Structure 1
């Protein structure tokens, strides 16, 4: 073991930023392998353990987020201290470093008492060969992590770095509490509430139960030089950026498969619009809720709609997460739904990014990658947009079997290629819809399976879909159980998480008796009825 020492001019205390508060909750409750970053880096020849310790200490001295403890709703920045660096000897340092990285990643950070940064070195013959860096989402988002790694690469070589000019998290928290920032945050909450009241609860709705699900997902990498060329022509013709074009194509192909007119996409917003935040080391990224309307004849209309929806969503992607949860819970109770995180878009491409492109003859090339853990139904990660479209599609095989996932992943690229030369009629797209039998109805813009709704109710109960001009189908539940309407609705809501194809009924009827053979529930004596809301 070796020790890294860090120091600063003063200790600081302040409220959490909105990004910190959002991630602290997740770090404390979600599986650590989902929330912790792990990075393995080879060390330059002749690196010493003292150099590793010095680089780690300098990095922590520069960035307050690496030496911050979280107690209640307060961040406490330490002005100095020590970080123990684990050292492991190995004849196979690369393999050992990966194993050690996984070990450290799978340990939850005790944010109130533990420095949120772990460093380990792997030696071979006593010489440091690999370094492991582990931190978590309450410390940095992906952009902030990239800043840290760039600085680490310089520090381990002994290169001097200019002073940090980006604000520290305590400074950002103070800015977020200014009157103008509070008004923007309130506007973001109003935007979210408006969208939550109208969007479907999920898109690729099938009957699954998430109990015990490990979220180990297959990943498909899709690459296409032709699609990148086509996106330049799309931008010239429509004014829609390449990123928004990929989002529109994903929404179109997915929505046609799902039988949905509106496709709600959670797009990860970096929230680094201000120049001074571009090098900020702290969590800023939050979800932007982008409802993409695909009820159009041609893809050009979807493109323009996706651009407008994206701009509005990104303008409303910094918010108080606790307040949003309260709004979401209220809307869920009112609508009788549980919002699924089933379609995520994450554009991680870098403008001006170079590098080698695929030399494959095919217009679209796809390759299956090893499975990895990600708690979402489907997610598209954009790796590159310029010179080559390079994306990775994560897909839960219960929702999208591999063949269907490949069809969607490649279909996104092929739609973009076609749209490079014309306004593609959506009726021409050959997308296989999700198979749904007679027991499925569309209620409140959500595909719902009646058998799954019955599972929410007491044994022996029934649910009937009644045609409704506003809802499409109004779900009416009947039961003879000893209960109240309010208790019925609360029990249904409690059973919804993890059940994609169920929604709570809009109306409940408590009857005196169950119907005898040949009788109908509708004709039984009624003790109580209502919405339960």
Structure 2
């Protein structure tokens, strides 16, 4: 163990940025494996432990986010402190454990395929341990460092940081600087603002207006869009250990260039539109909500910012047209509007969502997430040149979503990974969706593809639904699951009989009405239903409640009984 000690810096404190507040809230509840970054980096031969320690000091000195602690609604930037640097030796002679030539071995725990050696084994073991430990936000500097040596000679460095300190774009900036420092190259002065500077800008009148406009944008869409796309009759939460399908295609990347030239949409927007279209085919929905992780680095001064800026952008994609080009143009406009409204007060948004959920009687699922991590000119090596679509299953990994498409590369080769909860998207359906995105793009490179023929082209077909499924308020709802929800809610309130019936409604399509003889109120019953909705993807709380004096005798109707109370419960 050694120490990287920094001192003589300016200590500061102030409010959190919206990105920090969002990530701090998540870090207090989500597993550390979801919130921490881990990177294993090989070092050039001749690199000393002292050089590594000095590089750590330089990074912490340059970026206040790496020496920031959080206390309630305040951030405190340390002017002095220590970063512990663990040192682990493989016990092998240096000649046996010589590492690669400085390329990254892994990021986030996903190996790049380098040959296993004693030091890479040890590095991954140390990385997993540091990665799986939650950061103490109020006392621990958000950077963990370990050096793997062989015979005392440094071979690899493990770096672990967390989402409260930076997003993926900020991590890329940090790693580029790390590589330059270990090569002995001088770094340009930091021109990007520090998190406290961003927080100050967000609290100006203009910044507050922008955040308020984002909340209005979200609320407007949340009041009309489907609460879920991958709506199936499953309850409860998965452990979020999801199968992953990697899909690669060189012809799909070439097609993206032709699609962009014809429609004016970016390759990223085309992939997002293809995902939304095929999800809509499977769900039989005309509007598909995609939550895209927005880097929020639109202004030049934020491009090199080391801090958390990424937040969800809510993109409603209309997929009910005749051809793919029209969907893509709509998705392009929707994406631009969504990204402009993706910096917001997360706590305020949660309150908005809770109000809308109670009014609509539903729970919004984060079930289709799009994460474009591609960088033009950079990305995984293009290893295939065939005129086909290739896919391979990767080991399962944890991610808190139903389905997520990660885009690694768009130029030279389309390279994406589709994560999918098998309860919502079984493996065969995941393969059809993942490969179907590439096949749709290849076809769209030459023409406007009619949406009516996508099943034959991609193998994505509508999920079967029996007579118990109804389209209500833009969502698919399974009536037996609504009945089970109300029964469980009554059991929580002390028991009682109930029945759910549907009535025609011009706005909702169908209105769900719950009749009960329990000694309760509409508001209490609605609250109980809402408290049980999380994880029930196919249920919706009734829109109206009727409390009757007694239960009906066999063969009689609830509608004919005397009513004690009735109302929406909202």
Relative to the length of structure 2, the TM-score reads: 0.91
Aligned partners of 2:543, 2:281: CA distance in 1, in Å?
27
- Whether 2:189 is the aligned partner of 1:189: answer no
CA shift, 1:227, in A, is 1.2
CA shift, 1:360, in A, is 4.9
Aligned partners of 1:354, 1:97: CA distance in 2, in Å?
23
Instruction: Report the equivalent of 1:60.
Output: 60
Which aligned pairs between 1:282-321 and structure 2 lie closer than 5 A? 282-321=307-346
Instruction: Report the equivalent of 1:249.
Output: 274
Deviation digits for residues 190-211 of structure 1, max 9, x if unmatched?
1000000000000010122234
- Whether 2:527 is the aligned partner of 1:512: answer no
- Whether 2:483 is the aligned partner of 1:454: answer yes
CA shift, 1:283, in A, is 0.3
Aligned partners of 1:142, 1:356: CA distance in 2, in Å?
20
What count of residue pairs does the alignment treat as equivalent? 532
SS at 2:28's partner residue? helix
SS at 1:271's partner residue? coil
Instruction: Report the equivalent of 1:76.
Output: 76
- Whether 2:523 is the aligned partner of 1:486: answer yes
SS at 2:408's partner residue? strand
Aligned partners of 2:380 and 2:409 also within 8 Å? no
Aligned partners of 1:2 and 1:49 also within 8 Å? no
CA shift, 1:487, in A, is 0.4
Q: Which deviates further from its counterpart, 216-225 or 283-292?
A: 216-225
Which aligned pairs between 1:433-448 and structure 2 lie closer than 5 A? 433-448=462-477
Q: Structure 1 unaligned runs (5+)?
A: none
CA shift, 1:355, in A, is 6.6
SS at 1:486's partner residue? helix
Alignment partner of 1:129 out of 155, 158, 164: 155
Deviation digits for residues 118-170 of structure 1, max 9, x if unmatched?
11122222222221111110100000001111111122233221221111001
Q: Which deviates further from its counterpart, 231-240 or 408-417?
A: 231-240
Deviation digits for residues 87-138 of structure 1, max 9, x if unmatched?
2222422111111111111111110111111111222222222211111101
Aligned partners of 2:7, 2:198: CA distance in 1, in Å?
21
Q: Which deviates further from its counterpart, 159-168 or 374-383?
A: 159-168
Aligned partners of 1:5 and 1:54 also within 8 Å? no
CA shift, 1:243, in A, is 0.9
Alignment partner of 2:124 out of 78, 94, 98: 98
Instruction: Report the equivalent of 1:368.
Output: 393
- Whether 2:416 is the aligned partner of 1:391: answer yes
SS at 2:534's partner residue? coil
Aligned partners of 2:37 and 2:161 also within 8 Å? yes
Aligned partners of 1:422, 1:481: CA distance in 2, in Å?
60
- Whether 2:226 is the aligned partner of 1:200: answer yes
Aligned partners of 1:238, 1:103: CA distance in 2, in Å?
48
CA shift, 1:362, in A, is 4.2
Alignment partner of 2:377 out of 352, 364, 381: 352
Aligned partners of 1:256 and 1:433 also within 8 Å? yes
Aligned partners of 1:113, 1:301: CA distance in 2, in Å?
52
Aligned partners of 2:250 and 2:386 also within 8 Å? no
Aligned partners of 2:228, 2:485: CA distance in 1, in Å?
18
Aligned partners of 1:225 and 1:358 also within 8 Å? no
Aligned partners of 1:128, 1:510: CA distance in 2, in Å?
73
Aligned partners of 2:9 and 2:61 also within 8 Å? no
Superposition misfits of 4+ residues, deviation over 4 angstroms: none
Instruction: Report the equivalent of 2:352.
Output: 327
Instruction: Report the equivalent of 1:151.
Output: 177
SS at 2:559's partner residue? helix
Structure 1 residues 100 and 193, CA, compared in 2 at 3 Å: closer, same or farther? same
Relative to the length of structure 1, the TM-score reads: 0.97
CA shift, 1:496, in A, is 0.7
Q: Structure 2 unaligned runs (5+)?
A: 92-117, 492-496
